[in-house]
Amino acid sequence: MSLWVDKYRPTSLSKLDFHKDQANMFKNLVQGGDFPHLMVYGPSGAGKKTRIMCLLRELYGAGVEKLRIEHQSITAPSKKKIEINTIASNYHLEVNPSDAGNSDRVVVQELIKTVAQSQQIQTSTQREFKVVLLTEVDRLTKDAQHALRRTMEKYMATCRLILCCNSTSKVIAPIRSRCLAVRVPLPSVEEVCSVLTSVCRKEGLILPGELAKQIAEKSGRNLRKALLMCEACRVQQYPFSVDQEIPETDWEVYLRETANAIVSLQSPQRLFEVRARLYELLTHCIPPEIIIKGLVSELLSNCDGHLKADVAQMAAYYEHRLQLGNKAIYHLEAFVAKFMAIYKKFMEDGLEGMVF
């Protein structure tokens, strides 16, 4: 039994529920014959991956849905063995090179080289190239990005790249200039409500419009999250009620409690406790970028307006440090320690000002 988010995922461009102009643009791109490298970017839950898979189906037909997981072993110049998992069909290869950490440069070069040099399969559509889908390109090291730039030029004749990322700000300009950039924005609240209502109808359920709107707003218009929330509501209670509580993810509740702990007391002991909580989030595979973003959001809502600019600037600094370093816990803990220091000083200065 699959989750609704997978069960009702559209499989062709004509079945997409929103951004239909973009779907038509993709269709024209396929029919035009001159298919470029693509960079598909936008917020999480906007439907980037769904659109890419629909585009591949438009290119090659139903064969791209016959997927297999492959375990690739790549030998780096230093003789180090790098193990990485890929998802492949006869026509494309999907890989997340950032899984290899600092060895992502070798993964990018070797995998694209292997795909580009392999025998091309002639299909009814007569496509003479295979597609390599690279996800989370914005998390690649600068070395890997420069290697990717050289590789995408070298194998253009037999290989096309589709790069998928949340933001182009961390992708170097030479790569951006070599791709057709397509932004997939989040659906509107009305579009999310429409999808939720449609999915519930297919399941034989009646979803009140007010509850659908609450789910859409609480999910931040993230369609994947909205569908998961809606299914959780169905498990929790059916028939649906307009005033029923919408379940939150455990890690979001835990992160909010962590932020409250930081604001309530600033001491070495509390910092030690917060460090343990941050470790707990990291060991449950919550990305450090999401943790720092969530912490900042909660801390800003709890602190005085005079501090907000300093906290935002500080968060940007440590988020940048997070990208450069290897140990996420160091930078997260440094951010928390710095916030505690300026928050405690602000509170003490406020108390001194109140003394007559």
The answer as to whether 316 is a domain residue is: yes
Mean pLDDT of 32-36: 82
Residue 56 within a domain: yes
Distances (CA, A) of 34 to 20, 37, 267: 22, 10, 61
Q: Are residues 26 and 158 in the same domain?
A: yes
The predicted pLDDT at position 185 comes to 94
On whether both 37 and 143 belong to a single domain, the answer is yes
Q: Which residue's entry shows tokens 């450069």?
A: 324
12 and 89 both lie in a single domain: yes
- Measure the CA–CA gap between 56 and 87, rounded to whole angstroms: 14
The domain boundary, picked from 157, 183, 209, lies at: 183
Where residue 216 falls among pLDDT bands split at 50, 70, 90?
very high
Residue 174 and residue 51 share a domain: yes
Asked whether 196 and 229 are in contact (CB, 8 A), the reply is no
DSSP annotation of 180 reads E
In a domain, 242, yes or no: no
- What's 23's domain CATH number? 3.40.50.300
Q: In sequence order, what are the beta bridge partners of 71?
A: 85
Query: Per DSSP, what are the bridge partners of residue 51?
Result: none
- Global pTM exceeds 0.75: yes
Q: State yes or no: pLDDT of 128 exceeds 60.
A: yes
CATH code for the domain of 318: 1.20.272.10
Is the domain of 44 the same as that of 172? yes
The answer to whether residues 52 and 70 belong to one domain is yes
- Could you tell me if 117 and 32 lie in one domain? yes
- Asked if 167 and 200 sit in the same domain, the reply is no
| Residue range 277-293: mean pLDDT, rounded | 91
Q: pLDDT tens digits, residue range 144-165?
A: 898 888 888 888 878 889 999 9
Kindly tell me if the per-residue pLDDT of 320 is higher than 90. no
pLDDT confidence tier of residue 322, bands split at 50, 70 and 90? confident
Q: Specify the amino acid at residue 234.
A: R
9 and 144 share one domain: yes
Which of 43, 286, 297 has its CA nearest to residue 186? 43
Return phi, psi of residue 326, to 5°.
-105, -35
Query: Positive or negative CA dihedral for 112, 116, 118, 122?
Result: positive
CB 58 within 8 A of CB 26: yes
Q: Tell me the C-alpha distance between 78 and 102, whole Å.
A: 13
Confirm whether 243 is domain-assigned.
no
pLDDT at 352 over 70: no
| Residue 146 lies inside a defined structural domain of this protein | yes
Q: What is the pLDDT of residue 348?
A: 84
Is the N-terminal amide bond of 247 cis, ω within 30° of 0? no
pLDDT, residue 120, reads 58
Whether residues 121 and 91 fall in one domain? yes
Judge if 232 and 278 occupy the same domain: no
What is the Cα–Cα distance from 82 to 218, expressed in whole angstroms?
40
Report residue 330 as tokens: 């160091």
Q: How confident is the model at residue 283 (pLDDT cuts 50, 70, 90)?
A: very high
pLDDT of residue 268 exceeding 60: yes
CA atoms within 13 A on the CB side of 223: 32
- The pLDDT value recorded for residue 127 is 65
Question: Residue 288 above 70 pLDDT?
Answer: yes
Q: Quote the number of domains for the chain.
A: 3
Q: Is residue 309 part of a domain?
A: yes
Q: What is the pLDDT of residue 273?
A: 94
Query: Above pLDDT 90, what percent of the chain?
Result: 42
| Residues 84-113, mean pLDDT to the nearest whole number | 84
Domain identity same for 179 and 64: yes
Residue 106 placed within a domain: yes
Give the DSSP letter string of 152-170: HHHTTTTEEEEEEES-STT
- Convert the pLDDT of each residue in 172-194 to its tens digit: 999 999 999 999 999 999 999 99
200 is in which domain, residue-wise? Answer: 189-236
Average pLDDT, the chain: 87
Tell me, yes or no, whether 293 lies in a domain. Answer: yes
